[in-house]
Chain A
Amino acid sequence: DSGVTQTPKHLITATGQRVTLRCSPRSGDLSVYWYQQSLDQGLQFLIHYYNGEERAKGNILERFSAQQFPDLHSELNLSSLELGDSALYFCASSVGRTSGGTDTQYFGPGTRLTVL
């Protein structure tokens, strides 16, 4: 168990709806990353937060947004959902050192989103 938790485990919703996915990083980790894993596109980086601030954006749609709260948990908001948004959404966390070296990212179990 990497210590990263994600809720809910499964989510089934309809097109046009809005959902919120939640991630709690490992104790002491300041960085949170969101990834989307779909069958046809593999693992896609969405966004990175460090200590409450957005650090980097990847292939994140404008319909998607995220934030990291003072207690360091993060939420990924997906709105105006489309069938193609069905995927596994992973959160990862890392220590988030500010200089020198690269942190290992530890992944959560993922949230499986199904849009009908």
Chain B
Amino acid sequence: AQRVTQPEKLLSVFKGAPVELKCNYSYSGSPELFWYVQYSRQRLQLLLRHISRESIKGFTADLNKGETSFHLKKPFAQEEDSAMYYCALSGRNTGNQFYFGTGTSLTVIP
């Protein structure tokens, strides 16, 4: 069955420190992974998807099929990065339905 796990509900880092938000998934087949960001209970915004291999706002994420992970990383956290981050999975087996993790609330301490 499809499943997305974000093990950390809350994560705090100091400004300028590296940050890594963890995402693990379960999926049989070739998954498509996404990271969405939500600022202050506003709309979810797409941060990045693995197939585009872009770096948005300094964030990157690499799909590791061996470890079934898609961790989100940024080398130097900024205060404006404080938000809720959701990892999501989709693919042909899901009929384009998205499965979201429970989210990680990131706080960047000034």
Contacts and interface: CB of A to CB of B under 8 A. Distances in A.
B41 A88 contact: yes
Contact of A56 (B42, B44, B95): B95
A2 B43 contact: yes
Interface string B8-35: 0000000000000000000000001010
A33 to B, nearest CB: 7
A43 B98 CA distance: 11
B102 to A, nearest CB: 4
Nearest to A99: B92
B109 interface: no
Interface of A: 2, 4, 31, 33, 42-43, 45, 48, 55-56, 58, 88, 90, 92, 94, 96, 101-110
Contact of A45 (B42, B43, B46, B100): B100
Contacts, number: 55
Contacts of A106: 46
Most buried by B among A94, A104, A106: A104
B49 interface: yes
A106 B95 CA distance: 17
A110 B38 CA distance: 12
A23 B99 CA distance: 21
A45 B97 contact: yes
B103 A43 contact: yes
